[in-house]
């Protein structure tokens, strides 16, 4: 997709702090350091609009970005990082659960998983939450550049099997090589309702 504008909107810790719902919205979830903020920057063709870090636990709040005045993209805080303070770890679940439960314009959630990892209980739980809200979810295998082309396919199959999906349902992505960027925009546009597309 041609990006004509991309801007940070706001950070929220609770549903009341989220921007007024309007445009079709897509949220990205996954373990700390999996590459959520990097994926958003790649989607938006911006280097540092979403702040990234080699140290896990960079994104602690729900961050909203507006693209082409048409979509809202949401960077959710990551889970599973042991060194994040206990207080923040306890706040993660109500924050993310509250957001997923209460956001009526949420069209789909992307669950990110590092291509080198197998899905664990956190990923299964997240997919269950999202499904229980009636929101569609899709899976993105991140950092695909870290493994060979052959290994990309074996890893994709493993991740899919772990989540009881078909391999085609797992998108390969790299913020480094931009692999999968076009396909991901295509997936997102498909989830936006036709009436939103026209608006
Ligand atoms: N090689 C490679 N490195 C990546 C890729 N995506 C992200 N990284 C690196 O992984 C680290 C974490 O990336 P972030 O985008 O900050 O991860 P995050 O999921 O937003 O992390 P939290 O905000 O802590 O939850 C950074 O050092 C990135 O440069 C990728 O596709 N390929
Ligand atoms: Mg982040």
Q: From the CA of 55, which ligand is nearest?
A: 1
CB atoms within 10 A of CB 36: 29
Sign of torsion over alpha carbons 194, 165, 131, 108: negative
Structure confidence at residue 83 (pLDDT): 65
Distance (angstroms) between ligand 1 centre and the Cα of 144 equals 12
Does residue 60 have its Cβ closer than 6 Å to ligand 1? Answer: no
**Separation of 24 CA from ligand 2 center, angstroms?**
21
Ligand nearest to the CA of 57: 1
Q: What is the mean pLDDT of each run of 10 residues along the chain (199 residues)?
A: 95 92 95 95 95 80 95 92 70 88 94 97 93 95 98 98 95 98 97 67
Question: What was the pLDDT predicted at 82?
Answer: 63
How far apart (Å, rounded) are the C-alpha atoms in residues 58 and 45? 20
Q: What is the pLDDT of residue 79?
A: 86
> In angstroms, what is the span from residue 79 Cα to ligand 2's centroid?
10
- Whether the model pTM is above 0.75: yes
Domains of the chain: 6-198 (3.40.50.300)
User: Given the CA of residue 51, which atom of ligand 1 is nearest to it?
Assistant: 16
Q: What is the predicted pLDDT for the residue at 182? A: 97
In this prediction, residue 93 carries a pLDDT of 85
Query: Can you give the pLDDT at residue 198?
Result: 54
Three-state secondary-structure class, residue 33: coil
pLDDT of residue 27: 98
């Amino acid at each position: 997709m041609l990006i004509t504008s991309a801007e940070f909107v706001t950070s929220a810790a609770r549903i009341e702090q989220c921007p007024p719902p309007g445009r079709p919205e897509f949220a990205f979830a996954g373990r700390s350091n999996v590459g959520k903020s990097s994926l958003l920057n790649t989607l938006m063709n911006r280097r540092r609009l979403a702040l990234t870090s080699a140290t896990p636990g960079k994104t602690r709040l729900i961050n909203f970005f507006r693209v082409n005045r048409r979509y809202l993209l949401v960077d959710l805080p990551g889970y599973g990082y042991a060194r994040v303070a206990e207080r923040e770890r306890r706040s993660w679940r109500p924050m993310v659960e509250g957001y997923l439960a209460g956001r009526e314009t949420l069209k789909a959630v992307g669950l990110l998983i590092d291509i080198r990892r197998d899905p664990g209980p956190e990923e299964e739980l997240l997919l269950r939450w999202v499904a229980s809200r009636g929101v569609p979810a899709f899976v993105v295998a991140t950092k695909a550049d870290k493994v060979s082309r052959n290994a990309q396919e074996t890893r994709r199959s493993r991740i899919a099997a772990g989540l009881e999906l078909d391999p085609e349902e797992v998108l390969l992505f790299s913020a480094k090589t931009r692999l999968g960027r076009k396909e991901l925009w295509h997936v997102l546009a498909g989830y936006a309702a036709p009436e939103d597309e026209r608006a």
